[in-house]
Amino acid sequence: MQKPIQYLDDIQHPHDANAYWVFLFHGFGADASDLKNLSEVLTPPGQKINWIFPNGIFTVPIGAMMTGRAWWPLTLSQLPTDWSLYSPPELAQLMPAIWKMIDSFKIPWNKIILGGFSQGSMLATEIYLSAPQTPAGLISFSGALIRKNDWTNGLAIRKKQATDSGQILKAFFSHGEMDQVLPSSGTQKLIQMFKSHGYQCDFSSFRGGHEIPMPAIAKAQAYIYSLR
């Protein structure tokens, strides 16, 4: 039986029914606490945001006698050169637990923003494109295009739902130009695919590596504010 996903939270009290809920997924080898401090700098001034920081379901080695968490296992010395058709087999195990966790909050999808860093960004995009209704937004820090065929189909559904409802589709992406872990070309492909389906894409490109620098944080904060 699949265990529930554990998470850290920063939930506003008293609860504002109009507030967004941001689910922010960590990268490979980190854990739920890795991105938690971002809630302080990503929340727009004067705006209430509820933050949820889920913990990866897999334990993975990250060094001598050290382990971290992951959303699916990876062999870091054998990463794909082209991620576009990569599809983690563990998604079949992972996604039911993800849906159960999100459903437990009883939040309408138009109040949910999905985001993440690196592997967590890939997961956030997967959730965004396979959700039953279009979420409010997507934040991708140093992500990549994977599952190209499935994501293309998901974007077509998002576009049709937006056409029917009049929703404006927006997404945010950031990536370091010198990223040696996930090349920035993966995010560029992702942006092109989103734009081809009618999305307004905010992009923060920076001279750095596999990281989330302050310029990207500032632009992501502005993106969240723009969803109001």
Domains of the chain are: 7-226 (3.40.50.1820)
Q: Residue 103, SS3?
A: helix
C-alpha angle 14/18/19, rounded to 5°? 65
Q: Within a 13 Å sphere around the CA of 199, how many CA atoms are in the beta-carbon half?
A: 26
Under 8 Å between Cβ of 198 and 157? no
Q: Tens of pLDDT along 41-100?
A: 999 999 999 999 999 999 998 877 889 999 999 987 778 888 999 999 999 999 999 999
Tell me if 30 sits within 8 A of 1, measured CB to CB: no
Spatial separation of the C-alpha atoms in residues 43 and 61, rounded to whole Å:
32
What's the CA gap between 21 and 137, in Å, rounded?
10
Please say whether the dihedral angle defined by the alpha carbons of residues 142, 217, 135 and 161, taken in this order, is positive or negative.
negative
- pLDDT tens digit at each of 228 positions of the chain: 356 899 999 998 888 888 999 999 999 999 999 999 999 999 999 999 999 999 999 999 887 788 999 999 998 777 888 899 999 999 999 999 999 999 999 999 999 999 999 999 999 999 999 999 999 999 999 999 999 999 999 999 999 999 999 999 999 999 999 999 999 999 999 999 999 999 999 999 999 999 999 999 999 999 999 998
**76 CB-near residues (< 8 Å, 6+ apart):** 28
| Nearest Cα to Cα of residue 21 among 111, 94, 96, 98 | 111
